[in-house]
């Protein structure tokens, strides 16, 4: 893929624009999505905090697997669901 080539992710059924080399978290934030999931116990909104994979606040479902969005490079056709571990949405 050519650097800066645009493509789309599918996030909860809606397209989000991104470019090659961008992380899923970066694409969601650039698309105006800041609430990635809810905490499993309290239902509090959660989103990226450290952007280096340590806090795991950005853990969401990516292609059917819970992964850290800040550590996952976006790819064409990727399907993202804004829900995290524990089933909280």
Question: What is the number of other CB atoms lying within 10 angstroms of the CB of residue 66?
Answer: 15
Q: Hunting for tokens 């959660």 — which residue is that?
A: 46
Tell me what pLDDT residue 88 has: 44
- Flag whether pLDDT at 2 surpasses 80: no
Q: What's the pLDDT tens digit per position in 66-85?
A: 999 999 999 999 999 998 65
Tell me what pLDDT residue 89 has: 47
Tell me what pLDDT residue 3 has: 63
- In sequence order, the β-bridge partners of residue 23 are 73
- CATH topology for the 6-81 domain: Ubiquitin-like (UB roll) (3.10.20)
Whole-number Å distance between alpha carbons of 33 and 29: 5
Element (H, E) at 28: helix 24-30
Q: What's the pLDDT tens digit per position in 12-69?
A: 999 999 999 999 999 999 999 999 988 888 889 999 999 999 999 999 999 999 999 9
Q: Give the pTM.
A: 0.87
């Amino acid at each position: 893929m050519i650097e800066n080539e645009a493509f789309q992710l599918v996030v909860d059924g809606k397209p989000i624009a991104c470019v090659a080399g961008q992380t899923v978290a970066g694409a969601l934030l650039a698309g105006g999505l800041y609430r990635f999931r809810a905490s499993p116990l309290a239902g509090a909104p959660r989103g990226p905090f450290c952007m280096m994979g340590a806090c795991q606040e950005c853990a969401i479902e990516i292609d059917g697997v819970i992964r850290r969005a800040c550590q996952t490079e976006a790819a064409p056709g990727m399907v993202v669901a804004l829900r995290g571990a524990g089933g909280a949405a």
